Structure 1
Amino acid sequence: MGNEHRLLTLVICLVLGGGLIAAVLGVSRAAGPHAGAAAGRPASSDYVDIRDVPRVPAAAPAPGPEGSAGTMVVECGRNEQGHYNEDNLVVSPGLLGGAHHTHAYVGNLSTNALSTVASLDAAATSCTGGDRSTYYWPVLRRPDRPGGRPHEGSAGHGNVGEILPEASVVVEYRGNPVSKVVPMPRFLRGITGDAVAYTAADEADVRARWGCSGSPDRATTRYPRCPAGDRVTRTLVFPSCWNGLDTVGATHRSHLRFPAANGVCPKDTFPVPELRLSLAYNVPPGVNVALDSFPEQRHSPKTDHAMFVNAMTDRQMAAVVGCLNQGRACRT
């Protein structure tokens, strides 16, 4: 009888202890940056009223006398062709559906996981100046609307809902504030942002900034709630210091690195044109949006990212470099 009593007491303690652990973990998670995340959806803490975001000074330093102060805008449309797929040529080449979420494209109209140097070089492009480079990013959705068009459910993994079309897309190259830039090599591949930022150990690779068109001096890593009439914006800036050797890095990042805050490139790297993608969307006030992501990333806005493959001809790239180094404002 005594043994039975002790066994019953042990079971009760284990049950109560498990409940206490679960409660502690629950409180810990609720207090975290993604409080309330459930069923793979963004948490309420992933959204912020843009008026509650502090104003920030201009991030880029003023160009010095040796800098390259020009800009080149490449007119590539806003994906009017409906070029979407679940591939990622930069990160998982050769693997169809390897992204597990949907990407939107401008530029090269043939891009998929099976693209090659030859196929990119021969394809049509949405860019008016003939740039056959490919520029792409995960789509933004309205989860409150199911959507019935292609790619509005095909990626699966919780990436469902009406895809929000880009109201505007700006593909822009900028110079370096402290140095002249050198040409990017043909078929250089680049990535910005961190697609696994939600589960990453730190936020070192979080790069995208969200905002509202009427508040250009406010930027956040959360989904912004914008006033009526404003567009939701995404700004994705790519690394612009090249190692001078490789067009593809072992980690997709090692060959292209970001400059320091003052514009100086790391040792043994060379400044190349800085690619900046600026996206804007018409989102009704109060409507929640969700970025396509891997399932475990819960559509966190911090996982925003983008990729590109430079397929400009040498002549086209020389025109970009000349414009930037001469301090001009150019447009194709």
Structure 2
Amino acid sequence: MYWTSLLAAVTLAIPSVHGFIRFGCSNLVTERFDPLVTPGQVSPHVHQVVGGNRFDLAMDPNEDFGATATCTTCRFKEDKSNYWTAVLYFRHRNGSYIRVPQMANHNTGPGLQSGGMTVYYFQPSPPTKDLNITSFAKGFRMLVGNPMRRSNDIDPSTAAAQATTFRCFQGTSPGAIGAPGTPPEDTFSLPNKICTGGIRSNIYFPQCWNGKDLDPADHQSHVAHPVGNGFFGTDCPASHPVRLPLLFMEINWDTRPFNDPKIWPKDGSQPFVFSMGDPTGYGQHADYVFGWEGDSLKRAMDVCTGADGLVTKCSALTVQTTEEMNNCRVPVKVKEVIEDKYLKQLPGCNPIQRGPGYATIPKGCNALSTTFNAPSPTYAPAVVTPPWTVCNAGPTPEPLTPACDSIPGEKPPAPVVTPPPA
């Protein structure tokens, strides 16, 4: 369920929310590399990246990305951070693969963003003992999830068990009201059924910091989830006492073109697989590099304390149009085909590994690893028309839904983009 509608409900399924900001980010680049993966940990696999246009192979931790990026795919111009996730592929009955398109989320209009995700920054809420938050600092990075995981091996009584989950949409219904990640509405594994309206990834990053390290070698040990099995109203562990904004992301995968069971695998298994060869969904993961301009995130957290998350109500930040978001892109650096056509195998050295043991890195990988200086994209980015409302165009405004004409210069919805035949 999208959060703006959830918070409009008379009775909430979560404790009182102190405030949050919510905004869409279009796709910046789809690429087979990950600057936060240490060599030997996982084979390079295709990721989708959103945010500021300083994303590159080096990702120098000493660089101030908020100051050096010249544009961002996010609705707020001040957010030059980078957010990236593994890409989902469809596995056809004939054994070929094609990247699953992404589509705009509920209430992210006006305009349709090109793929990407919806980003949230939540403030802590009662009965949390410490309601004060510390903003991320320059050089801060973190990773949530484990790309090598292939089974449900996380203690269900912990928050980590709900940190990377999936919502199966049926038709235009967003699902039951409740905090994303909560079973049985959402699952840790990829849905094993046809989701007629698409599949959404729900990803919570750790919100507790040790107060010292900005980016350790594993990109994870400096942060932790709160104690208990929830993300709201819970306290940080003593080992990580500093409260950060709760970063949450939603990615809507447009699985509608693949709803015909006749093209699913003959054994009836669910046909979607992540780019690192994960058909289970347990390996879902995401990366974050902080890149807000100056103290803009801290200002927003101090001022934008409403419980609706609407971008136009956050006076501390600058809103840009969807067209500006969509047209901020960087060139692909690895010269290979990774999308828009069926492939014989997943890009890179990423065979299907079902588990239940952890995935291993194949030996003797000869996948393309060189990069080249490609020109910046000049063609119009592809967009998908989702089955739900992204803004309110009717005479009777829907609660907490942005008006389609609230920002000048927005473009009307584009046609649905469908994949080519196998």
For Structure 1 versus Structure 2, the TM-score category normalised by the shorter chain is 0.5 to 0.7
What is aligned with 1:188? 140
Higher relative CO (Cα under 8 Å, sequence separation at least 6) belongs to 2
Please report how far the alpha carbon of residue 143 of structure 1 lies from its aligned counterpart in structure 2 after TM superposition: 1.8
1:73 paired to 2:22: yes
Which of 203, 212, 230 is matched with 1:245 structurally?
Answer: 212
1:60, 1:221 → 2: CA distance?
A: 20
Amino acid at match of 1:120: F
Amino acid at match of 1:242: W
What is aligned with 2:80? 132
Please report how far the alpha carbon of residue 316 of structure 1 lies from its aligned counterpart in structure 2 after TM superposition: 1.4
Per the alignment, in what secondary structure is the counterpart of residue 234 of structure 2?
coil
Per the alignment, in what secondary structure is the counterpart of residue 329 of structure 1?
coil
Which of 102, 105, 128 is matched with 1:166 structurally?
Answer: 102
Amino acid at match of 2:15: A
> Which string of whole-angstrom CA distances, capped at 9 and with x for unpartnered residues, describes residues 1-39 of structure 1?
xxxxxxxxxxxxxxxxxxxxxxxxxxxxxxxxxxxxxxx
> Which string of whole-angstrom CA distances, capped at 9 and with x for unpartnered residues, describes residues 162-219 of structure 1?
111211221111111222322111231111111111279x335553111123324500
1:62 paired to 2:20: no
Please report how far the alpha carbon of residue 60 of structure 1 lies from its aligned counterpart in structure 2 after TM superposition: 7.2
What is aligned with 1:273? 245
Which of 190, 194, 211 is matched with 2:167 structurally?
Answer: 211
Structure-2-length-normalised TM-score = 0.53
Q: 1:233 to 1:140 in 2, by over 3 A?
A: same
After the TM superposition, which of the residue ranges 210-219 and 125-134 deviates more from structure 2?
A: 210-219
Identity rate, percent: 19
Please report how far the alpha carbon of residue 75 of structure 1 lies from its aligned counterpart in structure 2 after TM superposition: 3.2
CA contact (8 A) 1:237 1:274 kept: yes
1:101, 1:227 → 2: CA distance?
A: 25
Per the alignment, in what secondary structure is the counterpart of residue 235 of structure 1?
strand
Q: 1:255 to 1:325 in 2, by over 3 A?
A: farther
CA contact (8 A) 1:174 1:324 kept: no
What is aligned with 2:92? 144
CA contact (8 A) 1:88 1:99 kept: no
Per the alignment, in what secondary structure is the counterpart of residue 110 of structure 1?
coil
Please report how far the alpha carbon of residue 314 of structure 1 lies from its aligned counterpart in structure 2 after TM superposition: 2.9
Please report how far the alpha carbon of residue 263 of structure 1 lies from its aligned counterpart in structure 2 after TM superposition: 1.4
1:70, 1:119 → 2: CA distance?
A: 27
Which of 274, 280, 285 is matched with 1:291 structurally?
Answer: 274
> Which string of whole-angstrom CA distances, capped at 9 and with x for unpartnered residues, describes residues 237-257 of structure 1?
100011111111243212111
CA contact (8 A) 1:181 1:270 kept: yes
1:91, 1:129 → 2: CA distance?
A: 28
Structure-1-length-normalised TM-score = 0.66
CA contact (8 A) 1:292 1:299 kept: no
Amino acid at match of 1:223: L
1:239, 1:324 → 2: CA distance?
A: 21
The structure having more radius of gyration, on CA atoms, is 1
Amino acid at match of 2:205: F
Number of matched residues?
A: 249
> Which string of whole-angstrom CA distances, capped at 9 and with x for unpartnered residues, describes residues 48-91 of structure 1?
xxxxxxxxxx997403xxxx6111113322x1x5x022222223
What are structure 2's unaligned runs of at least 5 residues?
A: 1-10, 105-116, 179-184, 265-270, 312-318, 320-422
1:250, 1:210 → 2: CA distance?
A: 28
Amino acid at match of 1:115: M
Amino acid at match of 2:89: R
Per the alignment, in what secondary structure is the counterpart of residue 317 of structure 1?
helix
